[in-house]
Each structure stands twice: as C-alpha cells, then as structure tokens.
Amino acid sequence: MNLNGNWQPAKTGVLPAAVNEALSGSVAWDGKVGIELPYHAGATYNVELNGDLKNVSSHLPSPLAKPAGEPLSVNVKVDGNLNSFELTGQAGADNYFNSRWLLGQKLTLDRAIWAADSKTLPPLPEQSGVELNMPPMNGAEWLALFQKGAAESVGGAASSPTTHNVTYAYVVAGKSAME
C-alpha cells in the first residue's frame, strides 16, 4: 500500500514540551506499508517512509539545530508484529539510528542507538537503554535544555528507558573544550 502525508513534528503529542517549543514546520513524506496476516501465524508488518526535513526549523542545540529551507533527507524503516517493532533509519548522509519498541498499554522504547558521523546502521544496545554517539557539542546549551525538561515526560502515550549513555567527540563548557 502506498501512502503519503505531511506531519508537524511539534504536534505529535509524543515529544517533551521543551523539544516541541524548539521545533516548527512540517515534513512531507511518502511511504509503503506491507501487512501479512497468515492463517496459522501472527501478523507482521513493514513500513518504509522517506521524507525531507527541508520545511522543519529546529532551535535545539547543535548538532540538532537546523534552519528551515535547509534540506535533510530522512529514511525510516519499521519491521514488527503485534508485540514489538524495530525502527531503523538514516538522517542525512551520516546519521543512523536503530531502536526497538514494545507494544503494550504504553508504547515503550526498549532500546535505541543514534550514531552520528557513521556510514552504517549501528547494532542495538545489548540492554535496555539509549545510546547517543554524538559529534562535538555545546554542553551549556544542552544542560539548559535538559533543565527545561527536555528529558522528562515523552507524553502520556509512550515511555522511555531510564538509562542513557552519551558518547561525544568533545563538549564545549564555557570557553574550553573537554574530551
């Protein structure tokens, strides 16, 4: 089945308020959905979405800052069943993500990894949690965002792991860089 749409990321109801406030615009996408309903087995599905964040403006700290009008392709694939799904993809030329979600009373992010400056899809973490492999970033800007609640409440419909591991090339703190 072929689909297309136009989403406003800040209006999904899933992102924390501090993140929603930093986003504006919409992303046009097209995709394909496949559903299998075998007679003697469980249902499975796969989804492929392709879009461009050209019309999205992000005032999040670097490396997630992006002005409207700047193209940024996004490719997302989902493979799942009635209990869970894996969501993988690529943003731009060198950002890859891989995640596993559990379906229950709440949509639950079980484990995820984001790899910046990568050429391949990273494997999922062995344990529940989120791993972020990031390029250099400004620690003061990110700290201010987290103090505004960016890591809290991903909305009532979803939950995320409590363990987060962030790896970065270096962080700028004040006027000095820490490796």
115 burial (CB, 10 Å; 0-12 / 13-18 / 19+) is buried
DSSP string for residues in 21-84: HTEEE-EEEEEEEEEE--TTS--EEEEEEEEEGGGEEE-SSTTS-B-TT---EEEEEEEEESSE
- Whole-number pLDDT of residue 141: 80
- Whole-number pLDDT of residue 169: 64
Note the pLDDT tens digit of each residue in 107-137: 899 999 999 889 999 999 999 998 888 887 7
Contacts 24+ apart (CB under 8 A), 89-94: 90/121, 91/53, 94/118, 94/119
Candidates 46, 82, 83, 53; CA nearest to 68 is: 53
- Whole-number pLDDT of residue 172: 54
Give me the chain's average pLDDT, please.
86
Domain coordinates in residue numbering, the chain: 2-178
CA distance 58 to 41: 43
More confident residue, 60 or 149: 60
Note the pLDDT tens digit of each residue in 36-88: 999 988 999 999 999 999 999 999 888 788 999 999 999 999 999 999 999 99
The 3-class SS string of 14-38 reads CCCHHHHHCEEECEEEEEEEEEECC
